[in-house]
Copies of this chain bind each other. A is one copy, B any other.
């Protein structure tokens, strides 16, 4: 945990940004909820528990900043809100998601899976891929069982 904060601090400094207490509190919340897919509002409410004076606008600005630095990725599952997802340690690319259309659960896939597809796109479309967003919509393991039994 602490070493990841240190790392992010360095990343900020390298672009001459500071790791202010508000920013640190925000990053800590993200680290403590790495599995979740929090909206700005979610993050705000959680940060408020440790730093009650923080404003929602600051959370938005911090998330935007972290997003520029590629510390987090901003994603959108189609409900009206943006969600902010910490990049896995050392990950080059954004990870993928499995969204269950039955129960709404979101599972993560850290494996890249797209290496071949990306070479194909570079070769056949002449498009130089820098990053990707991949989400599968379908039925999760749990919900398949329920459907079978009912």
Nearest-neighbour CB distance to chain B for A100, whole angstroms, equals 8
Nearest-neighbour CB distance to chain B for A25, whole angstroms, equals 26
Residue A118 CB within 8 A of the other chain = yes
A98-B121, A117-B117 are contacts. A107–B78 as well, Cβ < 8 Å? no
Interface string of A130-150 (1 = CB under 8 A from B): 111111111111001000000
A-B interface, 10 closest residue pairs, ranked by CB to CB distance from nearest: A126-B141, A130-B138, A128-B139, A129-B138, A131-B137, A133-B135, A76-B76, A98-B127, A128-B138, A129-B136
Q: Contacts A98-B125, A109-B121, A127-B141 given; 20 further ones with Cβ under 8 A?
A: A107-B125, A116-B116, A117-B117, A118-B136, A125-B141, A126-B141, A127-B138, A127-B139, A127-B140, A128-B138, A129-B136, A129-B138, A130-B137, A130-B138, A131-B136, A131-B137, A132-B134, A132-B137, A133-B133, A134-B134
